[in-house]
Amino acid sequence: MTSRGLGGSCAAGGGGRRMTGGGKRRSRAGVQGLEQCEKTKDIKKRRSSEADIPNHLCHEVETCYRLKMPEDFYHFWKFCEELDPDKPCDALQASIGLQLVGPYDILAGKHKKTSRGDVNFSLHWRFFYDPPEFQTVLTGDSKMQYHVGYFRDVPDELPVWVGENEAKKGCTISQVGDNIFAAVKLVLSRKLKELPDKKKSGILKAIDEKLTETAKKMGYSLEQKTVKIKQRDKKVVTKSFHGAGLVVPVDKNGVGYRELPETNASLKRICKAIVEAPNDDQRLKAFAPIQEMLTFVQFANDECDYGMGYELGINLFCYGSHVSYKLFSAPFRWSSLV
């Protein structure tokens, strides 16, 4: 279900090919839009300086998580160190209810006495509905399991944006900017609006001013929808259940992705029937449409349209409950999704 399984895409041969699998490929116009988007350079302001973080800590973070971390991740750590030198992870806890977690635990030295083999960093601060593409770095309201994290389209590349999710409500991941400063700015704005006693807003306004000043100095946009995010959105081939959208490699012939034979709404109804089945026999019957789609996915994989299986896998994962459990435990061809 991760984006690691997308690899490259195969070039289509000669003339048009007959497509099996119950879906249709992205239109040529859509492919041209992707090509144009890929040629467009990201508009980024030059950072005034790199964050002053010891190299061995940066190396440890990226080695443990096997992910490249963006510079704003380290700059935000320095920002919180200025707010609370003794406990940077808790610098925003009392004021806006946010805590630095995940890879920030390594910068804070919380794993010094822990063997690297004792911690599964792929699951560290990963909530129930979080797909592998979503890496938590901030947590908030524990009742709603609110958390903020980086979203990646490709595991060995930098994040495409920062998102938020409330696991108690479901799997939806919403964009909150292309860096952590923008995400926290949004949380601050909400807190200021919700504050019943405006006289107590002094602390929040002070943090907001300091954050805005730091972000401006470092060249980070505080917009929720930046040019970079808009460019990425144009590459999305399908929204998927979590709403963050999926980006897969599609070549000039449109090879790489084809639509599922079911809409999101109908796929959710199928999943609902599986979850609400009174017994395993009825549940297996309700799985029939999924089994058929797995066959379509195999056809799509044979013709290098790997995005179809990726979409189905992510959607089933996001639905959770018996759907994922039964696919893993029952003799279904789950391997065709990855």
Q: Is 303 a catalytic residue?
A: yes
Dihedrals φ, ψ of 42, to 5°? -65, 135
Q: Which of 259, 262, 303, 311 is catalytic?
A: 303
Establish how many alpha carbons lie within 13 A of residue 189's alpha carbon, considering only the half-sphere containing its beta carbon: 11
Distance CA 78, CA 135 (A): 20
- Two structure tokens written together for 93: 């806890």
Q: Which residue has the tokens 């690899």?
A: 7
Kindly report the number of other CB atoms within 10 A of residue 8's CB atom. 10
Report how far residue 95's alpha carbon sits from residue 204's, in angstroms, rounded to the nearest whole number. 7
Write the CA distances from 70 to 46, 114, 178, integer angstroms: 13, 25, 10
Distance CA 48, CA 218 (A): 5
Phi, psi of 181 (to 5 degrees): -60, -40
3-state helix, strand, coil in the chain (%, to 5): 45, 10, 45
- One DSSP character per residue, 275-337 reads HT-SSHHHHHHHTHHHHHHHHHHHHHHHTT-THHHHHHHHHHHHH-HHHHHHHHHSS--GGGG
In sequence order, what are the beta bridge partners of 250?
none
- Report the distance separating Cα 244 and Cα 238, nearest Å: 9
Q: Residues with Cβ < 8 Å from 17, sequence gap 6 or more?
A: 303
Contacts of 3 (CB under 8 A, 6+ apart): 132, 133, 152, 153, 154, 155, 248, 310
Catalytic residue list: 303
